[in-house]
Amino acid sequence: MEKKLRSRAELFFRIVCWVYFAIAAAMIGLALYGFSSESVSLSLGGVTDAVFACIGGVLGIIAGVTGLVSKRMKRCRIMGLILVAVAAVPLAIHLLAGESFAAYWKNILLIIMPVLYLLGALLKRSSKPKQEKNVSPKLKPDLTSAEKR
């Protein structure tokens, strides 16, 4: 049984995918709970955060599965860019609305996982797998017709 050697970049990306998968599921659950709670005040910021948390959660689950299953890193990099863009929209809305830092700090935290996902995909692409060195026996030189006699 051969052991497959994995690079640190590949292990980092796999861990980020699993963590992102779990966080995305929690984001969806918390957003849906926020919509169904009796004490929720449906303000523009609250609704925006919940909607983008659901969208980011669904895309995060897809990105986690894609990162774990796909062999093509181009898909993962594109997915990482989409996730960063989706996470940046609520932050931009809060910043343009002129709200205080307390209102948009959680949006800054939500950008961390997509950035780590994108970073892991870029690192995995750039790392080259370790190849085993094949030690072949030295070949005998070809004998010319004069040497064969």
The model's pLDDT over 2-56, given as tens digits with 9 standing for 90+, comes to 566 678 888 888 888 888 888 888 888 887 777 676 655 556 666 777 788 888 8
Ranges 6-10, 34-38, 98-102, 118-122: which has the least confidence: 34-38
Does the CA dihedral 39-33-52-80 come out positive or negative? positive
Q: Are 83 and 121 in contact (CB under 8 A)?
A: no
Write down the mean pLDDT value for the chain: 77
Q: Are 25 and 38 in contact (CB under 8 A)?
A: no
Burial of 107: CB neighbours in 10 Å, binned 0-12, 13-18, 19+: buried
pTM of the model: 0.70
